[in-house]
Amino acid sequence: MEIASRHILLTGATGGIGAATAGTLAAPGTKLTLVARDPARLRELADRVALSCGGVATVAADLSVSSVAADVVAQATDAQGEIEVLVNCAGINDFGRFAVAAPDTIDIMVATNLLAPVQLTRAVLPGMLARGRGRIVNVGSVMGGVGFAGFGVYCATKFGLRGFSEALRRELRGSGVSVAYVAPRYTRTALNTVAMDRMAQAVRMNTDAPETAARAIAAAVDGSKADHVIGLVERLLVRFNGLLPGVMDISLARLNRRMAEHAEMESQIAEGNV
């Protein structure tokens, strides 16, 4: 891939991590196509990065509707040519007791966090394979390797995205198309509710600014590393959870109990009982 003339399609572009990533990826020879739901916020972001880019385009789309993936890719290709890099950064979260999770919220989260990256990858892959080059970067979470109380559906989507990335990477080996998975830890963005921030502070969770995740994503775009979990402690947690999940059940019992308490509080607030 000629980095100087690459075209990158970035989803979730107006989110905290997405906007920081757009700024980090912006370079004179790079064409960015930014995807998010709000046209006004997209235009504002595009204006900010335009002077640093070789070209910038926007596509307003709701990625929770899986049928839009092919149209997003078509619009991006029409605007700026073939896509060399796809960065699946769009995602939503929900914190609370799973027993009272709204069915619609579950559907939207699975569609946005898991089905959209899968469908977008499916849409860009034939072109990448035909050219014999390309890069898929899926942005997951530490919670794609370790399950935590209060984040059942979110963890499910990120575990799924991690598995998809691993399987596809092995399938595409030798094709010239590579797949990377980046797992940020708790990041300070507007995606987090007040209750989530209170929980993170109460359990002393390591937190990052969006720029930390953006740098890791940019490194994944440019490099050959297949997986990157941000944070040494978090990397160890993911590794040990994979090797000894029963031991981790015990080791994380107190932490998960406190997280569950905060999840209960969040659910009570959502139900109007607090």
Active-site residue numbers? 154
Q: Provide the residue type at 89 as one letter.
A: C
Chain-centroid distance of CA 253 in Å reads 27
Rounded Cα–Cα distance for residues 211 and 153 (Å)? 26
Is residue 219 within 8 Å of residue 225, measured between CB atoms? yes
Q: Please, which residues have CB within 8 angstroms of residue 127's CB and are 6 or more apart in sequence?
A: 77, 82, 83, 134
Which run of H or of E encompasses 165?
Answer: helix 152-171
What's the farthest any 2 CA atoms get from each other in the chain? 57
Break the chain down into helix, strand, coil percent, rounded to 5.
Answer: 55, 15, 30
Rounded Cα–Cα distance for residues 98 and 267 (Å)? 9
Rounded Cα–Cα distance for residues 111 and 157 (Å)? 9
Rounded Cα–Cα distance for residues 121 and 69 (Å)? 9
Structure tokens at 150: 């209060």
